[in-house]
Structure 1
Amino acid sequence: MACQSVCVIMDEQALLGLNPNADAPYRHRAMAYFEQLKESQDGWEVCAEALAKGIYHDDHVKFFCFQVLEHQIRFRHAGLSAVQQQLIRETLMKWLQNQLMNAEPEKPFIRNKAAQVFALTFVMEYLTLWPKFFFDILTLVGLNPCGVDVYLRTLMAIDGEVVDRDILHLPDDIRRNTLIKDQMREQCIPTLVESWFQILQTYQQSHPEITCQCLEVVGAFVSWIDLNLIANDRFVNLLLSQMSVEELREEACDCLFEIINKGMDPADKIKLVESLCQVLQSAGFFNVEQEEDVDFLAKFSRLVNGMGQSLVLSWSKLSKSGNVKEAAEALQALESKVPLLLQLLVHEDDDISANIVGFCYEYLHVLKQLPQLTDQQKANLEAILLAVMKKLTYDDEYNFENEGEDEAMFVEYRKQLKMLLDRLAQVSPELLLEAVRRVFNSTMQSWQTASFMEVEVAVRLLYMLGEALPASHGAHFCGDSTKTSALQDMMRTLVSCGVSSYQHSSVSLEFFETVSRYDKFFLVEPQHIPIVLMAFLDQRGLRHSSPKVRSRVAYLFSRFIKTLHKHMNVFIEDVLTRIQDLLELAPPENGFPALLTSDDQLFMFEAAGVLIVHGESPVERKTVMMRSLLQPLMDAFNLLLSKLSQESEQETQAAIGDCLSHAVGFASRTSKAFSNKQTVKQCGCTEVYRCCLQTFLPALSVPLQRGPLRSAVRSFLHRMIICMEEEVLPFIPSASEHMLKDCEAKDLQEFIPLISQITAKFKRQVSPFLQQVFMPLVLAIFEVLGRPAEENDQTAVLEKQMLRRSYFTFIQTVAASGMNEVMANQGAENIERVVFTIIQGAVDFPDPIAQKTCFIILSKLVELWGGKDGMVGFPDFIYKHIVPACFLAPLKPTFDLSDAQTVLTLSECAVTLKTIHLKRGPEFIQFLQQEYLPSLQVAPEISQELCQVLQQPDVKVLKNYIKAFFQRAKL
C-alpha cells in the first residue's frame, strides 16, 4: 500500500458527521472533509487503505470511502500515476476478497456503491490496463454467494455505464462504449454467459435473490451479445424451468421478454417465438384462468405482448418483401396466439389487460390490411370488441368524488381501450355499430334496474362511436343511411327513455357529454330540445348534488346553446328566468357555498349572452334583456367598490377584489355572443355596455387590489374595442391616464397591447389621442426601465426584458399604422430620444426578438423620413447612427449566427440597409465605400463586393451575402 505517510488515520471527528442523525456542525464538517479528500492529490488513499484493510465497521464510513474513490476514478483517473491506478485495482480486489470471508455480507447500498466503483474502473481500464477484469473477478469469487452478488451488481452497473439507452452519453463516451462492447464480444462474453448458466443452475434453490439478479443481467446483456449463446436448448430450458419456481418466475418472464425483443431476421424470430410458445403451452402457462398470482400474470402478459408484436413485425417485413409463403406462416402463428390474447385482455386485473393492448392493437392493424377476413378473423374481431366493452366498465371501488392514483390509472387504461375501439372501427365499422347498438338498446330498456356501471358504459359507447367511426361519417346525421339511422335511433332512445334521471354522477356526466357530442342530432330532430334543456336546468344537471357534475354541465350547456341557438327562440325568456340565480355574483361574506364556481359562471353568462343576441326578439326586447342581465353586476360592482375603500382587513380586501374582478369578467364574457352579423349596435346593446364601462373604469384609480382590478378592466376594454367600434373611444383617454399612473413593469407591459390594438383598429380616428398619449407612455416606460434592480432578481430582469420588447412592438405598430404625424409631432428632442432607444435596442441588448423589431422600425422610419422630402436632419441621423447599428449589432460577440432567431434579426438588418439604399441611392454607396467601411478596416475589394450586392434588386441575395459577410468578419 502506497503513501503510508498520508494513510495514517482518518479525521474521526469529521466521520461522526456521516451519521444521518448527527447534528448540523458535524454534518458540515463531514461535507468539508469529503471535499478536502476529493480535491487533494493523494488524500483519497486514506479511504483506499480503510476499504482494503476493513478498518471501519460503520456502514456510513464505508460508503463515504467508496464515494471518495468513485470521484477519483470518474474525474481524475487520467491524472493518476501508474502506481496510484494499480493501488485502486488492488484496493477493489482486496475489498472483494474480504467479502468472501465475512460471515455477514455488506448492506445492499454499500454493495451497490462498490459495484458502481468496480464498473467505473472497468470502463476506464478494460481496453488498456485491465483486459483480464472479468477473469480476475471470476477467478476470485468462484461460486461464493457474496462474491457472485457483487459480480452481478457490477455487471448491471456496467450496463448502466456502457449500454443503457435511457442514459445520455457524450459522443466520445459512445465511441469508447462501442470499443468496449466489441472487445467484450471477442474476449469474454462466452465466459460470462457460461458463468451466468452456472449461477442460475447452482443457486435457483438456495439463493433465489441471486438467481433473480442473474436473470436481470441476462436480460440486460442479451440485446447486444450473440443470441445463440442464450437462445439454445440448455439455456432456454433452464429459464423455462425457473418459470415454475414461485420466487423466480417473474424475473424469468422478464428475461424471456428481453430475449424475444432482440432484433433478428423475421424467419428466425418466428422460429424462436413458436418454439418458446410450444414449451410454455405444454407446461400449462396458457391456462390463464387457473393462475392466481396476478403479479406473475402481469409479467406473463407483457411476455405474450412481446411475442405477439414480434410476430406482427415479422409478418409485416415478410409481406413487404413479397415472401408470400413465409408471410402466411407468420400470420398463422399470429392467429394461433389470439385465444391467449383474449384471455389476457379480458382478465379482471387491469394491469394484466393493459400489458396486452399493444399486441391487440397491432393485430387489428394486420386485419385492416388484409383484403378479406375469414370467419375466424371476424369472430376474433367480435371477441376483442366484447372484451373492450367489458373492460371499459368501472368497478365498484372507483371513487368518483375523490379520484386518486388508482382512478387516474383506470382513466389512462380507458384511453388505451378507446384506441382499440377506434382501430376496430377502422377494420369493421358495421360490426362496431351493430355491437354498440345491441348493448345500448338492451341496457336502456332496463336502465332502472341496471347497475350504474352498465348504464354508464352503454352511454359511453354511444359517445365513443362519434370519434371511432370513419371520418366519412363525421357528420353522423347525414350521409350513409345505415349509420345515420342507427345513431339517430340511439340518440332518440337516450333523450326519451328517462336515463338522464339515473342517480349516479358518472351516468349524469356521460348523458350530458353525449348530448353535447351529438348536438347536431337536435338540428335534425329539434322536437327533443325541450326535454334535454330541462335536464340541463334541473337537479339532473346544473343543480345536481355533485359539484363536479354541475361544473362540467355549465360548460356543456354553454356549448349546447351556442350550437342550437337558432332553435332556442321560444325558450329564451324561460331559460333566462330559470338560470337567474346562477348568474348572481356571490358576495364575499356569504357563508353559503355557491352552486357554481366563478369559472363555471363564465359559461353561464356566455350562454345567456348567446340566447339574447341570437334570439329573434325585437331590438327593444334584446336591449331590455341585456340590461336585466348586466345591471345586477353593475349594481353589485358599485356597492363592492365603495366597500373596498373602507375595508382594512387584507383578507377581506382580497375577497372583495376577486368579486369585483368576477363581475367585470362576467360582463366581458357576455360580449362573446356578438359577431359581424350580430353587432352590439344592431342588437341595441351599445348603451348597456357604455354603462358597464362607466361603472368599471373608476376601479382603475383605486389603490387597493390594483393588480387584479386593472387586469380585469383592461381585459374588458380589449373586448369592448372589438365589439363596440368607435363608441369605446371616448373612454380610452381617461382609462389610459389611470393606467399610466404609478406603473410597474408588468402594468405597462399589459397596457401596451391595448394601445396597439386601438392603433391598429382605429388608425386615423385615434391619431389626436395617440399624439397626446405617446410621450407620457414612452416616459413611463423609460422611468420603469431606468429603475435600479437587485443584481440577482431574475424576475425583475425578465419583466424589464418583456417590457422592452413590448415597447419596441408599440413603436413598430405606430410606425406601421400610416400615422406619420403621431411621432413626427412629438418635437425634435423627443423624436431623437425615442429613435436613440431603437438604435440602442438594435445594438446593445442581446435579445434577438427585440433586436429584430428594432430593425423593422428603423426600416420603416427610413422609408418614412429618409427620402428627399423626409424629415429635416434625418439623413444625417441615418449615416451617423442607423448605418453603424446595421454593422455593430452583428459584430457583437453575443450576436449568435447559429441561432435561428438571430438569423431572422440579421435578415431585418439587411432589409434596413436595402431601404437606405432605395431612399438615398448612390450617395449611400459612396458613404459606405469612402467613409464607413474603411473606418471598420474592411478591405476595399470586400467593400466593393458588398456595395455591388446592395445594388441588386433581389433582397434575398443581400440577406445571404450579409450572413456570409459577418461569418467571415467574426472568424
Structure 2
Amino acid sequence: MDAQMLHGLWAPESQEQHAQACEYLQKLRESNEGWKLCAATLSSGGIMLDEKVKFVCLQVIEHYVRYGYVNASSEEQTMVRQHLSHWMTALCTCSEPEKVYILNKTAQILALVFVVDYPSRWPSFITDLLSVLQMGPQAVNLYLRILLAIDAEVVDREVMHTQAETDRNAVIKDAMREQCVLDLTNSWYDVLVKYEKTNPELVCQCHDIIGAYISWIDISLIANDRFVYKLVDHLKQPLLREAAADCIHEIITKGMDPLTKTQLIESFVTVLDQAGVLKPVDDDDSDFLVKLARLINGIGAQLILSWQKLDKNEHEKRELVRLAVENKVTLLLTFLASEYDDISAAVFDFARDYIQLIKQTGIITSVEHGLLENMLFVLITKTKYDESYNFEQMGEEEAMFDEYRKKLKVVFDNLAALVPELVLKVSKEYIITTLNRWQASSYEDVEAAVSLLYSLGEALPASHGNHFSLPAAPSNISDQHSNISELKTSTMQEMMRLLVTSGVSRHTHPAVSLQFFECVARYEKFFACEPDYIPSILAAFLDVRGMRNKNPRVRSRTSYLFSRIVRCLKNHIVKYTEDILNQLTDLLELAPAENGQILLLRNDDQLYLYEAAAMLIVFGTSEVSRKEMLMRNLLSPVFTKVNYLAERLRLEQDRNMQVYYAKGICHATSVTARTSKAFSNQNSMSACGCVQLYLDALQLFINCLNVGIERELIGSGVRQLMHRLVVCLDGESLMPLLPPASQALLHTPSPVVLMEYLPLINQIITKFQKEINNFLHSIFVPLVSAICSVLSEAIEENDEEEKRLRKLLQRNYYLFLTTIISNNLFDVLLSLEASILQQVLMSIVQGAVEFPDPVAQKNCFIILRRLTEAWCINGSEPPGFIEFIYTQVVPACFLAPLKTTFDLNDAQTILAFHESVTCLQTIYKKRGEELTTYLQSDYLPKMDISQDLIQSYCQAIKEDAKFFRNYSKIFFQSARA
C-alpha cells in the first residue's frame, strides 16, 4: 500500500495531490484487495505506523466488514479474524497507550464482525475476547470499548434497526445470556476490584458497560451483595462516584415487576443511606451532586411508575409503594433546594410525578400537605435571581437560568392545580409581606414577589374566565367551588391593589420594573373592574418608570405593553386621550431628532405607540372633525419629517447616508400604516373623516419613491401602507392612486420587487374584484412581460439566493393568475391579443408540467380547470381553445404525474395530483365522449398502454371524483414503475 500517497488527504501540497489521495482511498475501499493491503500494512507496521495511516487502514477495513464480509468466503473470513487478532494483540501489548480514535475504530470493526459471526460462525468470540484481559490495562481498555461498540450495534434503543436486524439482535442476546453473560459479569467485577485504586478511568468505563448491559441481562447478576457494595463504595471515591451514580441509575431503571423494582430500590436506598452517601451536606462537588440528584430523581420516578403499574385493587401493595415514595420526598426537597440550579433541575421529574401521584389518589394526607407546602417554599426561593445575573449583558449563564426558571414554573403550575388554596395562601403571605417592605428588601425578593403574582394568573384557574370582579357585584355563592373562586378573586384584587399603591413601580432595578409592567398588562381586567387606578398606571408607563426608563429593555418592553393596555382598556382610557398624546410627543418623534438628541425608543417600539395613539383617537367620543384633527396632528409631524428626508435624499451623494434617509422614509411609512390598524368596521376610516388624510399620505410616499434613489427600500414601505389601505378604504377612494403607485413600485422590476408586488395586487383583486377591471386590463400585459423578462434572464449556476427568488416569483405569478380566475375576471384574459393569450396559456401548462413546485403545479391545474369550466362551451369558446385543451391540457394531466420530480408520497404533491385529475374529469364533463374517443384512439395508444388498461381508464373517468382519484393514483404508480 502506498502510505505516502495517503498523506495527501490531510496535508496536501496542492489540490491535485488531495484529489489523487481521495481517489486512491476510494480505490482501496472498492477493491477486494484494498482491505487486505491495509490489514497487511497494520500487521507489518503495527503500532509504529503513522497514526493517520493507521486510521485510514482501519476505515478501509471497516468498509469491507460493513458491506462485504457477510458474503465473504470462509478463507477470507478466517483471514479477517487473523488480522484482527494480530492487531488486537499489538494494541494490547504496546508500551504506550494508543490514541482513543484508533481504539474506538478498532472496537467498531470488531463489533461489526461480531454481529455477523456470533453465535453461528464464531461462537467463541466472547471467550476469545475475555482471554485478552490478562494482557494488562490496555487490553482491558480495548475490551471495554469493544463491549460498548457491541451495545451500540445490538442494544442501543436510539439506533434505528430494520426488522431483520432486530431479529438478528434478539438471537445474539439470547445466545449471550445462555453462553457468556455470567463470564462477562465476573470480568466486570474483576475490573472494578483490580483497578479501583490504580486506574479509575477503566473502572468508570466498566460502570458504563454495566449500565448499558443491565437492560437485557438477568438483574440478579448485578443486583447482589458483591456488586452493590462495590458500587456504593465507589460512590464515596471522588474519581469513581459520578460513573458509579450513573451505573446505579441504569440498574434501578431496568424494566421489571413493580414490587420487585420497589424492593430493589429500597435495598439500594438502605445501603446508600447507611454509607452516608445520601447526606451530601458538606459536599461541594457540583458535578457529582448533579449525578446524585439524577439518581434520586430516578429512584422517585421509578417508584411512582411502579405504583401506577399496580392494579388499583391491590390496595396494600399500592400503599406500600406510596409510603416508599413519601419517604423519599425529603431527599427530593433537599436536592430541589440546592443552590446549584443544575442540581435542582435534575429532580424536576420526581417533583412533577409526585404531585401527579397525589392528584391521582384524590386524597392528601397531613404529611403530604406538609411536604407540598415545603416544596412550595422551595419553589418560591429558587425562582429568585442570583446576584451574579448580569442584566446589562446577558450571556449563556443567564439564558440557562431563564430556561431553569421556566421549568420551575411548570412544577409550580402543577402544584397550584393540586392545592390551589395552599398556593394562594402562601403566595399571598409572601407577596404582601414583600411589597409592604419593598424598599428594605433586596431586588431579588421584590422581583420574585411580583413574578409570583404574575404566575398565579396562569397557575390558578380563574372564576368565569376572570380573576377580578366589580366591587359592588352581588354574590350568590352557594357551593364550595364557588367559595374558592370568590376567595381567589378577592385575594387577587387585594394583591393587585397593593401592587399598584405600594410604590414598587418606582423600584430602580430593571428586573423589578419589567415584572411590574408585565403584571399590570397581564391583569388588565383588574383595571376594568377598578378604573380609579388607571391614571396612576398610565403615569407609570409614560414617565421614567416606563417608556422613559434609563434601561433600554424596559423602554422597549413597556412601549409594547402600553399598546396592549390601551387596546384592552380603550373604553376607560379614551377620556385621557389628549393628555396622553401631549405626553407622547417626544416619544413619537422620528429619527433624526430635531434637537439632535438620541431618541428613547427604537423604530419597532414607536410602531406600538403610534398604534396606541391612533386607537385612543379613533375609539374616542369626539366629533368626527375632532378625530380627524387629532389624527392629522398625530401624523403631520411624520409627513413633515418625510418631506425633509426626501429632500435630503434627493441631494445626498454618499451611499450610506442615502440608505439612512431611505430607512427613515420607510419607517415613516410603517408608522403611518400602523396607525390604520386602529380603524375597524364600527370605527372605519371613512366614519372618522380620515380618508383624505391617508390618501394624501400615500401620494406623499409615492412621491418619495419617485425620487429614484433606494427604490426597493422605500417601495417596501409603500407596499406595506397600500396593504393596509386596501383593508381600510373602498375602491372608489383608492382606485385613482393605484396606477401611479404601481408605476412607481414597478419602475425597476427586479425579482424582489415583482415578487413582493404580486401579493399586493392579489389582495386588491380579491377585495375590489370588478371595480379593478380597468386597472387590471392596463397593468396585466406590462406586469406579465416584466415577470417573463426577469425569469428569462441568465443566472449564475452557484447563485442559490437568486434561484430561490426566481422560484418564489414564478410561484407568485401562478398565484396571481389563480386569483384573477378565482374572482371570475376572465375578460382580462379574453381581451388579450391572441398571441399574448397563447403565451400566457402555454406558461400555465409549462408550470403544471415542468416547474417542480407542487404548490405552483396545483395552482396551474386549478387555472386550467376553471378555464375549462368557463370557456369549454360549444359555440362560444375562444378561438383555438378546444384545440388547446386536446394538444396541451390533456397531455399536461398525464405528463406531470409521470415526472420523476412528482412525488406521490408528498402531501403538497398529492393536492396538485388531485387538481390534475379533477381538471381531466372536468374536461370529460364538458366534452363527453369526445374526450374518451380521443384518449382511446389517439393519445393513450401513443403511451404504449394496453388496450384493456385504456378501456379501464376511460371507464374510470366516468365514475365519481373520489373513485377516479384513487384509480388515477394506482394508474400512474403502475405507469411510472
* TM-score category (smaller protein): over 0.9
Question: Can you give the 5+ residue segments of structure 2 that lack an aligned partner in the other structure?
Answer: 470-481
Aligned residues: 960
Q: Distance in 2 between matches of 1:319 and 1:360?
A: 23
Q: Is the 8 A contact 2:505 2:545 kept in 1?
A: yes
Q: How does 1:293-372 map to 2 (within 5 A)?
A: 293-320=285-312, 322-372=313-363
Q: Is the 8 A contact 1:242 1:252 kept in 2?
A: yes
1:608-632: CA deviation from partner (whole Å, max 9, x where unpaired): 1111111222211211221122122
Match of 1:600 in 2: 605
SS at match of 1:231: coil
Q: How does 1:274-285 map to 2 (within 5 A)?
A: 274-285=266-277
- Report the alpha carbon displacement of residue 145 of structure 1 after superposing the two structures with TM: 1.2
Question: What is the one-letter code of the residue matched to 1:546?
Answer: N
Shift of the 888–387 alpha-carbon distance from structure 1 to 2, 3 Å rule, reads: same
Q: How does 1:523-602 map to 2 (within 5 A)?
A: 523-587=528-592, 592-602=597-607
1:676-698: CA deviation from partner (whole Å, max 9, x where unpaired): 11111111111211111011113
Q: Is the 8 A contact 1:538 1:544 kept in 2?
A: yes
Match of 1:785 in 2: 791
Say which of 912, 923, 946 aligns to 2:919: 912
1:493-528: CA deviation from partner (whole Å, max 9, x where unpaired): 001110001111110010000000001110000000
Q: Is the 8 A contact 1:38 1:72 kept in 2?
A: yes
Say which of 206, 211, 231 aligns to 2:198: 206
Match of 2:378 in 1: 387
Q: How does 1:164-313 map to 2 (within 5 A)?
A: 164-170=156-162, 172-313=164-305
Q: Is the 8 A contact 2:132 2:140 kept in 1?
A: no
Match of 1:696 in 2: 701
Shift of the 703–318 alpha-carbon distance from structure 1 to 2, 3 Å rule, reads: same
Q: Distance in 1 between matches of 2:946 and 2:93?
A: 79
1:428-480: CA deviation from partner (whole Å, max 9, x where unpaired): 11111111101000001100100000000000000000110125563111472
SS at match of 2:718: helix
- For the pair 1:902 / 2:902, whether they are aligned, the reply is no
Shift of the 832–34 alpha-carbon distance from structure 1 to 2, 3 Å rule, reads: closer
Q: Is the 8 A contact 2:92 2:142 kept in 1?
A: no
1:834-867: CA deviation from partner (whole Å, max 9, x where unpaired): 1122122222323222121111111111111111
Say which of 677, 681, 686 aligns to 1:681: 686
Say which of 134, 137, 149 aligns to 2:141: 149
1:67-120: CA deviation from partner (whole Å, max 9, x where unpaired): 443344334435766555434433332233234443332233433333333333
Q: Which stretch of the first structure deviates more once superposed, 77-86 or 425-434?
A: 77-86
Q: Distance in 1 between matches of 2:938 and 2:94?
A: 86
Q: Distance in 2 between matches of 1:109 and 1:900?
A: 43
Q: Distance in 1 between matches of 2:749 and 2:595?
A: 34
- For the pair 1:637 / 2:642, whether they are aligned, the reply is yes
Question: What is the one-letter code of the residue matched to 2:539?
Answer: M
- For the pair 1:417 / 2:422, whether they are aligned, the reply is no
Match of 1:499 in 2: 504
Shift of the 402–55 alpha-carbon distance from structure 1 to 2, 3 Å rule, reads: closer
Say which of 618, 621, 637 aligns to 1:616: 621
- Report the alpha carbon displacement of residue 16 of structure 1 after superposing the two structures with TM: 8.8
Q: Is the 8 A contact 1:864 1:870 kept in 2?
A: no
Shift of the 860–63 alpha-carbon distance from structure 1 to 2, 3 Å rule, reads: closer
Q: Percent identity?
A: 44
Q: Distance in 1 between matches of 2:663 and 2:931?
A: 59
1:247-276: CA deviation from partner (whole Å, max 9, x where unpaired): 111111100000111111111111111111
Q: Distance in 2 between matches of 1:59 and 1:691?
A: 76
Q: Distance in 2 between matches of 1:501 and 1:853?
A: 58
Q: Is the 8 A contact 1:949 1:957 kept in 2?
A: yes
Shift of the 266–882 alpha-carbon distance from structure 1 to 2, 3 Å rule, reads: same
- Report the alpha carbon displacement of residue 561 of structure 1 after superposing the two structures with TM: 1.0
- For the pair 1:799 / 2:791, whether they are aligned, the reply is no
SS at match of 2:894: helix
Say which of 881, 895, 905 aligns to 1:888: 895
Q: Distance in 2 between matches of 1:888 and 1:39?
A: 39
Question: What is the one-letter code of the residue matched to 1:767?
Answer: N
Question: What is the one-letter code of the residue matched to 1:888?
Answer: L
Say which of 873, 882, 885 aligns to 1:875: 882
SS at match of 2:587: helix
Shift of the 707–82 alpha-carbon distance from structure 1 to 2, 3 Å rule, reads: farther
Q: Distance in 2 between matches of 1:102 and 1:958?
A: 73
Q: Is the 8 A contact 1:253 1:303 kept in 2?
A: yes
Question: What is the one-letter code of the residue matched to 1:894?
Answer: T
Q: Distance in 2 between matches of 1:597 and 1:407?
A: 24
1:804-841: CA deviation from partner (whole Å, max 9, x where unpaired): 22111111111121223221111322222211221222
Return the TM-score normalized by structure 1: 0.94
- For the pair 1:447 / 2:452, whether they are aligned, the reply is no
1:585-629: CA deviation from partner (whole Å, max 9, x where unpaired): 112999754311111111111111111111222211211221122
Q: Distance in 1 between matches of 2:934 and 2:22?
A: 65
Q: How does 1:849-860 map to 2 (within 5 A)?
A: 849-860=855-866
Question: What is the one-letter code of the residue matched to 2:215?
Answer: S
Q: Distance in 2 between matches of 1:75 and 1:569?
A: 77
Q: Distance in 1 between matches of 2:393 and 2:737?
A: 48
Q: Is the 8 A contact 1:466 1:474 kept in 2?
A: no
Question: What is the one-letter code of the residue matched to 1:91?
Answer: H
Q: Is the 8 A contact 2:245 2:292 kept in 1?
A: yes
Q: Which stretch of the first structure deviates more once superposed, 882-891 or 342-351?
A: 882-891
Q: Distance in 2 between matches of 1:870 and 1:333?
A: 86
Shift of the 473–799 alpha-carbon distance from structure 1 to 2, 3 Å rule, reads: same
Question: What is the one-letter code of the residue matched to 2:835?
Answer: E
Return the TM-score normalized by structure 2: 0.93
Q: Distance in 2 between matches of 1:203 and 1:947?
A: 80
Question: Can you give the 5+ residue segments of structure 1 that lack an aligned partner in the other structure?
Answer: 1-5
Q: Indicate the RMSD between aligned Cα atoms, in angstroms.
A: 2.5
- Report the alpha carbon displacement of residue 38 of structure 1 after superposing the two structures with TM: 3.9
Q: Distance in 2 between matches of 1:797 and 1:970?
A: 29
Match of 1:74 in 2: 66
1:566-596: CA deviation from partner (whole Å, max 9, x where unpaired): 1112211111111111111112999754311
